[in-house]
Structure 1
Amino acid sequence: MKPLELDTLDQALRAALASQDWERLTVLDAQLAAWLAEAPAIADRDALGRLRATYRETLAAGRAAGDELEQRLALLGREREGQIAYAQASQWEDA
Structure 2
Amino acid sequence: KSIDDSTRLVAVTHVSNVLGCIQPIKEICSIAHEHGALMLADGAQGVPHIKTDVREMGVDFLAFSGHKMLGPTGSGGLYIAEEQLEST
- Interval containing the TM-score (normalised by the shorter chain): 0.3 to 0.5
Higher relative contact order, structure no. (Cα contacts within 8 Å, ≥ 6 residues apart): 1
Tell which structure's C-alpha radius of gyration is larger: 1
Higher fraction of helix: 1
Higher fraction of strand: 2
